[in-house]
Amino acid sequence: MTNQALLIIDYTNDFVADTGTLTCGQPGQLLAPAITKLADETHQAGGWVLLPTDVHTPNDPYHPETKLFPPHNVRNSWGRELFGDVKTWFDQNQVAENVWQFDKTRYSSFAGTDLDLRLRERHVDTLILTGVCTDICVLHTAVDAYNLGYHLIIPADAVASFDPAGHAWALNHFKTCLGAEII
């Protein structure tokens, strides 16, 4: 196993499909070849391929996103299923020891999860962040990872947003404020 983990963040129908509740549409859809290529490379090299996936309960009065967004990524719904070729890749590889999907309920993949513990147990010190949205969940995951001491790699062709200005700002922030490698 390597010291790297690939995170495929929130690549679901609700965030990527044309009819998704909070879709970034075509910019997100165009990521699939780059993400699946990275997943294949990471998996074959013995690295970890992790899929932190947003999950919600409709109209949850205790969740701050309830006031910000319509219901999305509801457990056991079409909207929460992985999108397109990434779903196919995961379905074919999910039994592997170094591939797993897990629930997250906040923007960051670290908030309220055991991600940091599981990465440290596996001696991971480098994270490759992919998925959507560059300026929301990828950004919040990157900030937490930076604060926890992880080295960050962001493939520019494997992240996207519904907001081109937010996407560009986040890529710059990753590089200039978090010391991430943008490849």
Distance in angstroms (rounded) separating the CA atoms of residues 180 and 171 = 9
- Please measure the distance between the N-terminal and C-terminal CA atoms of the chain and give it in whole angstroms: 22
CATH code of the domain made up of 4-182: 3.40.50.850
Over its length of 183 residues, how does the chain's per-residue pLDDT go in tens digits? Answer: 579 999 999 999 999 999 999 999 999 999 999 999 999 999 999 999 999 999 998 888 888 888 888 889 999 999 999 999 999 999 999 999 999 999 999 999 999 999 999 999 999 999 999 999 999 999 999 999 999 999 999 999 999 999 999 999 999 999 999 999 999
Question: What pTM was estimated for this model as a whole?
Answer: 0.96
According to the model, what pLDDT value does residue 61 have?
86
Q: Where are the domains of the chain?
A: 4-182
Question: What are the angstrom distances between the C-alpha of 44 and each of 3, 37, 81, 93, 145?
Answer: 14, 11, 24, 11, 24
- In the three-class reduction of DSSP (H, G, I as helix; E, B as strand; rest coil), residue 74 is classed as strand
